[in-house]
Structure 1
Amino acid sequence: MAKPVRAAIGDQWITCMYCKGDLFRDRKVKLNSTGAEFMNLAWANESATGLICWHCGYVHLFANPEIDLYKVKKGEF
């Protein structure tokens, strides 16, 4: 099972837009475009960081490469 992270961009901590939770699972997400898919160039599409709320499951996508992820210790979740 994935371990939870907290996330920030600069000094702004990210919270879930739905439940206001601050723990997430993270993963890289491809932002596929129809043209690239059609030309078999999907590998060239831009990536985003997906944050999945640990509590409610709401998915947040961030294309900003400045997002920082912080591991959460076992006793904190």
Structure 2
Amino acid sequence: MASKPVRASLGEVWLTCQICRGDLFRERGVLLNSTGMEFMKLAWADENATGLICWRCGYVHLFVNKDIKLYRADK
């Protein structure tokens, strides 16, 4: 994996993977496309999400909450 691992929190709660309970993630921006917006060539206006990919198992978690905080982690 090319990117650095991160840890994430939402308020006082530290996030862990729903599958393996790992706490290291790779962050990626995700565009939540809709068919209607794609059809009208307006996909760029769709909502964005933060994708957290579990470093251990690869499960993808999506968050649209803008309050999520990411912290650099040493692997």
- Common topology (TM > 0.5): yes
Alignment of 1:7-18 (within 5 A): 7-18=8-19
The runs of 5 or more residues in structure 1 that have no matched partner are none
TM superposition score normalised by structure 2: 0.97
Q: Which amino acid aligns with 1:60?
A: H
Look up the match of 1:72: 73
1:27-75, Cα deviation, whole Å (9 max, x unpaired): 10000001100000000000000000000000000000000000013xx
- 2:49 is aligned to 48
Aligned residues: 74
Q: Which whole-Å CA distance do the structure 2 matches of 1:65 and 1:39 have between them?
A: 27
Distance 2:64 2:31 in 1: 10
Give SS of 1:18's match.
coil
Q: Percent identity?
A: 65
2:37 matches 1:23: no
TM-score, structure 1 as length reference: 0.94
Which aligned segments of 4 or more residues in structure 1 are displaced greater than 6 angstroms? none
Query: SS of 1:55's equivalent?
Result: coil
